[in-house]
Every structure is written in C-alpha cells, then in structure tokens.
Structure 1
Amino acid sequence: MKLRFVLAMVGVVARVVIKVKIDIKNGFGIWLF
C-alpha cells in the first residue's frame, strides 16, 4: 500500500515537472522568437 502511494506521488511529481519544462520551453519560444 505504501509503495503504491509513493509511486503515485512520484508519477504526479514527474508529470508536473514535465509540464513545467514544456511550459517554460514554450514561454521562452514565445518571448525569444
């Protein structure tokens, strides 16, 4: 049960990090180009 919870948390964090990276990349693309 705890392992599942940890994996779920890691999955959520990974998704947020990926989304932020994409948003930053898109944001810089809009500002720079």
Structure 2
Amino acid sequence: MLSDLNDRIDSITLSRTGCLTLITIGQPLTIFL
C-alpha cells in the first residue's frame, strides 16, 4: 500500500515539475516568437 502511494506521489510531483519547467522554458520562447 505505502509503496504504491509513494509511486503515485512521485509520478504526480514529476508531472508537476515537468509542467513547471515547460512553462518556464516556453514563456521566453513565446516572447521571442
């Protein structure tokens, strides 16, 4: 149970950080375009 919960939390945090990095990288790109 705990391991499954940890895996789920890890995937959620990974997706969140991925979205944040995409946003931080994408904002300057949109400004340049």
| Bucket of the pairwise TM-score, normalised by the shorter protein | 0.7 to 0.9
Identity %: 6
How many Å separate the matches in 2 of 1:28 and 1:14? 22
Q: TM-score, normalised by structure 1?
A: 0.83
**For structure 1, which runs of at least 5 residues remain unmatched after alignment?**
none
Q: Give the total of aligned pairs.
A: 32
Q: Report the TM-score, using the length of structure 2 for normalisation.
A: 0.83
Structure 1: 4+ residue segments shifted above 6 A: none
The answer for unaligned runs of 5 or more in structure 2 is none
The CA RMSD over aligned residues, in Å, is 0.8
